[in-house]
Amino acid sequence: MLRIHFTGVDLARVRMAARPDALWETILSFHRLRDRRDARLFGEWRTETRSRLNGETRLLGALIPGRGYFPDFLTPVEGQYGWDVGLDALRGIRPERMRRELALLGTGAGLGAAFGMPSGVSDGADTLVPRRLREFMDGGTKYLPRLLAELRGYHRAAVEPYWTHIQAQIEAERAARGRDLLDGGADELLASLPPTLRWRAPVLECDYPVDRDVRLRGRGLLLQPSFFCRRTAVTLQDPELPPVLVYPAAAQLASTTPGGEVTRPVEEHRQRTLGKLVGHTRSVVLRAIGDGATTSELARRAGVSLASASQHACVMREAGLVTTLRRGNAVLHTVTPLGAALLKGGAVAS
């Protein structure tokens, strides 16, 4: 069991991630790709992803075992700000930290620390992992370009085609947890997390392969919902890094197709339907607002002129699809519940 210990200051510093973390989703999806479980949810995704994978992933396979510890440097905290920002942070990893974490993985110490397994445990394809890790460690940061290339290629095949759906799931999770926070504060937020996480103030208990205590010491906790995280939550091994808890988004199962598959084809159908209803450009603009955008940001995301973005936002505001608030010299556009329901192809919650 994982126990996360809070102080009063930590409760005041609990926060929800603003968006899905592309690096966490990419790394965790690599686990899902090799895991045969949850076929109803991930079966079609696995088939489609494997059909698109035509690049090298052996280095990823060495760094991300089928179970257990993988290096913390693969999921830098900067990843919460976007894919490119996360890759830049990974590119700038300090050589000594990289060697330390690779040594932890290569000796099996990290595996044992995370999952209670003896040092050197290996099975199947993982037999060759120590040799590949040794090459990486001996080569130092010169192997980083190859790692980044593999990450990009895998991300394009496995995560990028489904990103709209992943974003929708995390937004739904954020909305649900945000309502809990508004209704009952951080205490209610922590109590509302999925059943594998149990809030027994001042400790958050999580189902976990081994016994471990994490003390926040006034640093707070970033809650990062994830589409590809399954069953148990995940946290960083190094207790000195900024605390983060990655947990399964509760919304993911509620929004699959009747057969349980990831709903990218359904999402594409909704986009075509929305385009017929409000016009292609306006549907693009509405989607581009996301979790909020100024007029300049909206124009850039949608690929239209500033004047066009302003005009489209005005029309949608009059139709009740968008709300506009002034913030200093700029205005912030956000999607209303009616607009969100239109985007998702459902009814407005009463």
Give the tens place of pLDDT for each residue, 245-269.
Answer: 999 986 443 334 434 445 444 344 4
Mean pLDDT of 103-113: 57
Give the tens place of pLDDT for each residue, 210-235.
Answer: 899 999 999 999 999 999 998 889 99
Query: Which position has the higher pLDDT, 118 or 139?
Result: 139
Give the whole-number percent of the chain exceeding pLDDT 70.
78
Quote the pLDDT of residue 327.
57
Cβ contacts of residue 262 below 8 Å, gap of 6+? 41, 42, 44, 45, 162, 165, 256
Q: How confident is the model at residue 130 (pLDDT cuts 50, 70, 90)?
A: low
pLDDT-wise least confident of 21-30, 54-63, 163-172:
163-172
Give the tens place of pLDDT for each residue, 168-207.
Answer: 678 767 777 876 888 889 999 999 898 899 999 999 999 9
114: pLDDT strictly greater than 50? no
Quote the pLDDT of residue 34.
87
328: pLDDT strictly greater than 70? no
Give the whole-number percent of the chain exceeding pLDDT 90.
39
Give the tens place of pLDDT for each residue, 137-179.
Answer: 766 677 788 889 999 999 999 999 988 778 767 876 777 787 6
Quote the pLDDT of residue 113.
39
2: pLDDT strictly greater than 90? yes
Q: How confident is the model at residue 271 (pLDDT cuts 50, 70, 90)?
A: very low
Q: How confident is the model at residue 348 (pLDDT cuts 50, 70, 90)?
A: very low
Mean pLDDT of 32-39: 86
Mean pLDDT of the chain: 80
